[in-house]
A and B are shown apart, each in its own frame.
Chain A
Amino acid sequence: MSEWVKICAVSDLIADAGVPALFKDQAIALFYVNDQVYALSNYDPIGQANVMSRGIVGSIKGELVVASPLYKEHYSLSTGKCLEKPEVALTVYSVKVEGGDVWVS
């Protein structure tokens, strides 16, 4: 049973980059690319620290990705999958934008 939580305003996000946020008691990362917002866990499963929101956003063969700022693995923004190590993934959260605010569930 998922429940939507209001996180922040869209204007708090930075285009083409990530922003860290707290969703309930979980650290998440919000990415704002091509007018769309993506929410993934902020915890880097390989580097073991809450840093994914500080990675560089880009594309690899058409797929939007974020690169870990610690050891540079790439994670898909839409699926959370690690491109270099498919057995590792970030949790993906649902996001909606309503009235200029970002909601996550």
Chain B
Amino acid sequence: MKKKLVVVGNGMVGHAFLDKLVNSSAFSDYTVTVFGEEPRVAYDRVYLSSYFSGKTAEDLSLVPTGFYEANGIDIRLNEKVVAIDSAAQSITTASGISMTYDKLVLATGSYPFVPPIEGNNRDACLVYRTIEDLEAMKEAATRSKIGVVVGGGLLGLEAAKALVDLGLQTHVVEFAPRLMPVQLDNGGASMLRRKIEKLGVKIHTSKSTKIIEDGETARHKMVFADGESLETDVILFSAGIRPRDELAKQAGLAMGARGGIVINDQCQTSAAHVYAIGECALHGGMIYGLVAPGYAMAQVVVDHLNHKPAAFTGADMSTKLKLMGVDVASIGDPHGTDEAAKSYIYENGPQEVYKKLVVSADGKKLLGAVLVGDVDDYGNLLQLKLNDMDLPEHPDDLILPARAGTKPSFGPDSLPDSAQLCSCYDVSKGRIIQAIDEGATCLADVKNATKACTGCGGCTQLVTSVVNAELAKRGVEVSKAICEHFPYSRQELYHLVKVEGHKDFASLLHAHGEGHGCDICKPAVASILGSVWNAYAFDKKNIPLQDTNDRYLGNMQKDGSYSIIPRVPGGEITPDKLIVLGQVAKDYQLYTKINGGQRIVLFGAKLPDMPAIWKRLIDAGFESGQAYAKALRTVKSCVGSTWCRYGMLDSVKMAIDLENRYKGVRSPHKMKMGVSGCTRECAEAQAKDIGVIATENGWNLYVCGNGGMKPRHADLFAVDLDEATLFKYIDRFIMFYIQTAGRLERTATWLGNLEGGIDYLRQVVIEDSLGIGMHLEMQMQSLVNSYQCDWQQVVDDPEKAKLFYNFVNADEKDPEQLYVRERGQLRPATAQEKLESLAVELV
């Protein structure tokens, strides 16, 4: 008989608990029932504000589709638990369901505190915690101009960002004399204030609101204790959180003096079979308002259910975040509450950077730190603090700019294996080393294996340095050299080719390489020459560089014959063209198949026949599909608004336009695109390097998806674009990829290895943070202008066509190319069939 486990609350921590439980052996001992008050499964509150920059409720979900069903977990949404009887071990819900339990887990989270101010329940006075709150904000914003956030803490500033995104003129009202009073000191807070005010947000500190009443120019008027007032249409309260402990209180469990469900180190409440985790729990007198400690508690309970020793002994509250685009970090105790503590401050007015260190009286240990405007030192400082490491002789060297002298870099080797590098997913240095021992050979592999760097991304720099150091120790070449002939990475070669104007392999090898080249560097350089100069693959001096596919402008099949794939932009083809394809296939006995990219492939073309086959196709209006090249393959499209009942926009035309613009552009690896006419996504555009999906308001752009061996869903990059902006972003995206990617790096891997990830990519492409946007567009335009159909050139030039032969000295068939008839078509004979020479044909 299985025991019964009931979980109350399906928020971030409640879900993390289930996710961990499912992967542990104790899971098979329990039948699990979950009650959630909200109408949806757990979602990411940390990224709530991205709802206003384009993410949907589904994007924010933390639960893979079908996760609970697949694991046999009974989840009841929209179902609030209203009573616990801890003696009878049973719960009751609002709709009257009663259920007994052997173990109960409370993960009820917290609610936003609304100060008891008269008028706080007026229209458009809101809070910010759930997706329903977001919808209410969105609605209120449509009938408003001005918004005020009450509370200048971490969440308040997040909320202010949301109001700015909604297009409101935004104010922040803070009771304390500075912003983020808990995490920052005066110097850091005033630097933060300066930066935020520059963004057009007005900050009012030392203000206590007395009453909210009817406004004259706006909906409300807030009157402050000092007699001043502020008119606004929307008020958002963000004055702290309070634990949702009402259930526990009713059940008679032990409570903190100011709320919170008291738990011990095993996260048990005063009733041993009831656990509490996350923001509703009070441990050692503390409520932890961050996810990482909640996740740690969830792990402790899972361990406890598995009879493994585990304890929650408190958590570090250091944070690093981006508030309205401003980098802010706080470590340990930044206020120097310890009398004897000493502090060091670095302030750079023009660049708006503020850093402060608090160190112990003997100068040996770091107690706390504040960083505003430049948080690059966060990773190092946090490790010094968490691992109680000794400081260097001059601690201030740690925060001074590197140019002021040599910055003491304590290498990744000085960290103990237990050091936690990624706090979002609790990944230690030891775990990273284990992943490398198990075969990870680059940062992207480590991310996949451990989830490190995939939460807030704050640990990327540190994890990268550990990964590189560990790989180097194992003798893995972390050297970026692409092969023994060039001591450079693909990206460096790209720049050398461009800056020094090398037009062929020999000139580059002479200047920067040694030996003869090989099958790694030659095609890589050929692709770079193609990207930079649109060098034609079939020029005689480029022939030796090309893989056989590029050399003969077809994909070689296992028997040495080639496939013929004409371009069918967007998958749209006329009946006349179809007939030509059929006729050519018939005349040359080619096997015919529709591939995964909405194109028709003719297999089994013999080298000597290829120019003639292509002449017929080109005469019928086809051009090369370049399926052999590292370049754009196809743009898959759905049916779109011209025929489909659901279509919002003409996805087929968009696909054709995309394909015609980017065809022929040589890239580090192949690129695929997809266009869907509505969110039903029939074209599966989110599995492509570039995906475009029509919405009511324009086009949504997705990037860096991948099918194939390592599938990856594309990231939503920008929303509701008009056509011109869409093409502008794609131009920039592709050129930036071409310039910076490694050899044979698909966009998904490239993004995985890109420091700063998708946010950085957005800055470069959308905000043009590097100031290269126009340059990238011009380069793309020049590639587009110099496009030529590879096969057209062969067909037009008898000298080139002459090079397609089986033997330089004989006009004969290849005796190894033998075929067998199957399902009405020819296919290559197997070795066995050749031996038995049964039914084989030489064609």
Binding site for B on A (CB under 8 A): 7-8, 12-17, 19-22, 25, 27, 30, 33, 43, 47-51, 54-62, 64-65, 67, 69-70, 72, 74
Chain A residues with CB below 8 A from B807, complex form: 20-22, 27
Closest partner residue, chain B, to A66 (CB atom): B519
Contact A54 B556 (CB under 8 A): yes
- Contacts A20-B807, A56-B518, A57-B516; is A70 near B551 (CB within 8 Å)? no
Interface string of B799-824 (1 = CB under 8 A from A): 00000011111101011110000000
- Apart from the given pairs A33-B516, A58-B518, 8 other A-B contacts in the complex at a CB distance below 8 Å: A8-B808, A14-B543, A20-B805, A20-B808, A22-B810, A48-B831, A51-B548, A59-B485
- Contacts A17-B543, A49-B560, A69-B556; is A55 near B806 (CB within 8 Å)? no
Q: Does B484 contact A (CB under 8 A)?
A: yes
CA distance A41 to B23 in the complex (A): 55
Contact B558 A70 (CB under 8 A): yes
CA distance A33 to B814 in the complex (A): 25
Contact B548 A17 (CB under 8 A): no
CA distance A80 to B814 in the complex (A): 22
- Contacts A50-B814, A58-B519; is A7 near B484 (CB within 8 Å)? no
22 contacts between A and B (CB under 8 A): A7-B809, A15-B544, A17-B543, A20-B806, A20-B807, A22-B807, A22-B809, A33-B516, A43-B816, A48-B831, A50-B814, A54-B551, A54-B556, A57-B516, A57-B544, A58-B485, A58-B522, A59-B515, A59-B517, A60-B484, A64-B516, A69-B556
CA distance A49 to B551 in the complex (A): 17
Inter-chain contact count A-B, CB under 8 Å? 97
Contact A50 B816 (CB under 8 A): yes
Q: Does B540 contact A (CB under 8 A)?
A: yes
Contact B556 A30 (CB under 8 A): no
Q: How far is the CB of A90 from chain B (nearest CB, A)?
A: 15
Q: Does B101 contact A (CB under 8 A)?
A: no
Interface string of B474-501 (1 = CB under 8 A from A): 0000000000110000000000000000
Closest partner residue, chain A, to B834 (CB atom): A48
Question: Which of A27, A55, A62, A69 is B815 in contact with, Cβ under 8 Å?
Answer: A27
Question: Which of B485, B519, B814 is A67 in contact with, Cβ under 8 Å?
Answer: B519
Contact B812 A22 (CB under 8 A): yes
Closest partner residue, chain A, to B831 (CB atom): A48
* Residues of B contacting A: mostly: loop
Interface string of B516-532 (1 = CB under 8 A from A): 11110111000000000
Chain A residues with CB below 8 A from B558, complex form: 47-49, 70
Contact B560 A51 (CB under 8 A): yes
Chain B residues with CB below 8 A from A55, complex form: 519, 548
Q: Does B374 contact A (CB under 8 A)?
A: no
CA distance A33 to B133 in the complex (A): 72
Kindly state the interface size class of chain B when it binds its partner: 35 or more
Binding site for A on B (CB under 8 A): 484-485, 515-519, 521-523, 540, 543-548, 551-552, 556, 558-560, 805-810, 812, 814-817, 831
Q: How far is the CB of B754 from chain A (nearest CB, A)?
A: 28
CA distance A17 to B541 in the complex (A): 10
Contact B544 A19 (CB under 8 A): no
Chain B residues with CB below 8 A from A56, complex form: 518-519, 522-523, 544-547
Q: How far is the CB of A67 from chain B (nearest CB, A)?
A: 4
Closest partner residue, chain B, to A57 (CB atom): B544
Contact A21 B517 (CB under 8 A): no
Contact B810 A70 (CB under 8 A): no
Chain B residues with CB below 8 A from A14, complex form: 540, 543-544
Contact A58 B809 (CB under 8 A): no
Question: Which of B808, B812, B816 is A19 in contact with, Cβ under 8 Å?
Answer: B808
Closest partner residue, chain A, to B516 (CB atom): A59
Contact B547 A49 (CB under 8 A): no
CA distance A20 to B521 in the complex (A): 24
CA distance A48 to B814 in the complex (A): 13
Chain B residues with CB below 8 A from A48, complex form: 558, 816, 831
Q: How far is the CB of A97 from chain B (nearest CB, A)?
A: 15
CB-based closest 7 A-B pairs: A58-B518, A59-B516, A16-B544, A67-B519, A69-B548, A54-B548, A49-B560
Contact B544 A50 (CB under 8 A): no
Closest partner residue, chain B, to A43 (CB atom): B816
Chain B residues with CB below 8 A from A27, complex form: 807, 814-816
Closest partner residue, chain B, to A18 (CB atom): B544
Question: Which of B516, B559, B560, B808 is A58 in contact with, Cβ under 8 Å?
Answer: B516
Q: How far is the CB of A76 from chain B (nearest CB, A)?
A: 13
Chain A residues with CB below 8 A from B810, complex form: 21-22
CA distance A59 to B552 in the complex (A): 23
CA distance A8 to B521 in the complex (A): 30
Closest partner residue, chain B, to A15 (CB atom): B544
Chain B residues with CB below 8 A from A74, complex form: 519
Question: Which of A25, A49, A61, A64 is B816 in contact with, Cβ under 8 Å?
Answer: A49
